[in-house]
């Protein structure tokens, strides 16, 4: 509902505040570039990617801090969700996420594909995790 009423950035702020309030994980939102309105379908899929990334942080990361960055660039939007948690070993190919039991990450990959975006996941044990999606606009 907050996404429909206010848009992606206020929804991201709300999710960050919720993570801090309910999980004690200090979460911050940073916007780079001039904010602009995005198509509703794109906003919804980006919102769902942030939501899933924060759920993974909440459930698995043991993080104390998280960052959501939304960058409005020329012809693209880059969304990144990063944490300082325990990280994990990635499968060799991003296409192997589902078979490796990383269903939330596989779902993010599918959402990125639906909006012609590119999903990148960086993680390693003790190094935290960063999920980035770059989408043409």
pLDDT for 105: 75
> What is the extent of the structural domain holding 72?
2-136
pTM of the prediction? 0.90
Return averaged pLDDT per consecutive 10 residues of the chain, 137 residues in all: 82 96 97 92 94 95 98 97 93 62 76 92 94 96
pLDDT for 50: 96
pLDDT for 133: 97
CATH code (residue 36):
3.30.565.10
Q: How many domains does the chain contain in total?
A: 1
pLDDT for 89: 84
Q: Which two tokens stand for residue 109?
A: 């990959």
Yes or no: say if 63 and 43 are a contact pair by the CB < 8 Å rule.
no
**What is the per-residue DSSP string for 36-87?**
----HHHHHHHHHHHHHHHHHIIIII--SEEEEEEEEETTEEEEEEEE-S--
């Amino acid at each position: 509902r907050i996404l429909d009423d206010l848009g992606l950035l206020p929804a991201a702020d709300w999710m960050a505040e919720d993570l801090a309030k309910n999980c004690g994980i200090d979460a911050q939102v940073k916007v780079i570039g001039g904010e602009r309105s995005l198509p509703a379908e794109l906003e919804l899929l980006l919102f769902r990617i942030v939501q899933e990334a924060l759920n993974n942080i909440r459930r698995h990361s043991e993080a104390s801090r998280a960052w959501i960055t939304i960058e409005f660039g020329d012809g693209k939007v880059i969304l990144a969700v990063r944490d300082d948690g325990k990280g994990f070993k990635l499968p060799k190919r991003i296409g192997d996420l589902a078979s490796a039991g990383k269903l939330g990450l596989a779902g993010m990959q599918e959402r990125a594909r639906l909006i012609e975006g590119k999903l990148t996941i960086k993680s390693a044990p003790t190094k935290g995790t960063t999920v980035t999606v770059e989408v043409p606009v």
